[in-house]
Amino acid sequence: MIRPVSRTWLIVDVVGSALGLLITLPLSFVFGVGPLSPWLHPEWLSASVLVVVAVAMWGAAAISRLSPPIALLIAWAAAVIQMAAGLPPLPFDIAIFPVLFATGAWGTRRLLWWGGASAVGGGVVAGLYIALLQLSSVITSDGLLNAAARVSMIAVLAATSIGFALVIAWGSGLLWRSVASGRQTRLAQLQAEASAAEEAERVRIARDMHDIVAHSLAVVIAQADGARYAAAAKPELAQEAMVTIAQTARAALSDVRMLLTQLRHRQGDGPQPTLADLETLFAQVRQAGIEPRVTVDPMPPGEPPGGIQLAVYRILQEALTNALRHGEGDVDVRLSWWADRVDVEVRNRAATAPSGPTGGHGLVGMRERAQLVGGTLNAQREGGFFVVRATLPIGA
């Protein structure tokens, strides 16, 4: 029956209800003409009951977000006391609106329909009660038949107008409930899409790594077998084979580490792109109408590991794709090959930025690529440009 509510919202509800009480309670005394109640005497007793009912009504409004069922029970109890005391409808009765709103917005499914029934039933009861209060004065001034007609008309008009207002308050809560549910569904959908994109990218990376590591291990095995047979007859050939094994193993070390950090669900066939394929990638971008201005400084000191080549290619591929989709004008690409790392930078004038809960599925893939080789990647707006920067370490 008690919902978890933040302290901020609880303070807002309590302060708002206190202000409502301070405003409507004096107005309730001012608007009263003659005795407050034709049934309670002396007058101080009627005033005391009025204060108690007003406090109860606004107290229910104060806890309506925290506990809608308790608030509805308190509001009904206060309304029954008010009618039993013969008090007319007064300004403090507007406290029932936030209570009905709360039943529609935050109540359970059962309480939701109890709130709707209370809105309709409350309108009918209020109409009959107002007609009852008018009965004595109408009978005094009119005949019995005319009095019955007038009382019936008063009851219908009062029940219709009050019931309509109460149903609007409850319906507003129901609308709020629908909007909040839609937001939660959309958030869950976005999170699921982001998770699916990350998983798909891991699968693609695992497929790429399979070919690279398999190739490296095949070279190592072949060279080791050759060295074993050549060790006795030609030791110099065995020495050369051992050097090749060491170089290949060092190049594959980072790829093995990446492969062991993820679960590979499927593998694919086909050659993987390397640095030699970058010119083909740049040509494709030129055909799309954008000129990539490529700067490579300093040049690679040797043959980079296959995993690093693949990561550089995929990062540039996705960065250039984002530039085609979201940018305008030409693109500046810079590769800096240092002894221990390679720095990649892609800069383009941004018309729009990739959107989504994690910055877009393409950015998720680029970050995965960088992280799996032990590097980092940052993509953000800088003035009117969108800049992708990656630093990938090159193992010794």
pLDDT in tens, 123-161: 999 988 888 877 766 555 555 556 677 778 888 888 899
Instruction: Output the six-digit token pair for 257.
Output: 């580490």
Per-residue pLDDT, 80:
94
Per-residue pLDDT, 218:
64
Residue 35 has pLDDT above 90, yes or no: no
Instruction: Output the six-digit token pair for 79.
Output: 């309304």
Output 41 or 66, whichever has higher pLDDT: 66
Per-residue pLDDT, 268:
44
Render pLDDT for 266-311 as a digit per residue (tens, 0 to 9).
Answer: 444 445 678 888 998 888 778 766 789 999 989 988 888 888 888 8
Per-residue pLDDT, 137:
61
* 240-300-205 Cα angle (round to 5): 85
Q: How far apart are CA 232 and CA 245, in angstroms?
A: 18
Render pLDDT for 172-230 as a digit per residue (tens, 0 to 9).
Answer: 999 999 998 888 888 888 888 888 877 777 776 666 666 556 656 666 776 777 777 77
Output 76 or 350, whichever has higher pLDDT: 76
Identity of residue 51: V
Per-residue pLDDT, 36:
66
Report the phi/psi class of residue 302: left, alpha or beta, with left for phi > 0 and alpha for psi in -120 to 50: beta
Residue 384 has pLDDT above 70, yes or no: yes
| Least confident window among 37-51, 242-256, 366-380 | 242-256
Residue 336 has pLDDT above 80, yes or no: yes
CA 216 from chain centre, in angstroms, equals 44
Render pLDDT for 44-76 as a digit per residue (tens, 0 to 9).
Answer: 888 899 999 999 999 999 999 999 999 999 999
Residue 358 has pLDDT above 50, yes or no: no
Per-residue pLDDT, 247:
67
Instruction: Output the six-digit token pair for 261.
Output: 């950090």
Per-residue pLDDT, 192:
85
Mean predicted confidence (pLDDT) in 21-33:
83
Residue 121 has pLDDT above 60, yes or no: yes
pTM across the whole model: 0.53
Alpha helix stretches (DSSP H) within the chain: 7-31, 43-62, 68-84, 96-106, 109-141, 144-233, 235-260, 278-287, 306-326, 361-372
**φ, ψ for residue 22, nearest 5 deg:** -65, -30
Q: How far apart are CA 83 and CA 49, in angstroms?
A: 11
- Closest by CA to 148, choosing from 161, 135, 157, is 135
**8 Å CB contact between 120 and 159:** no
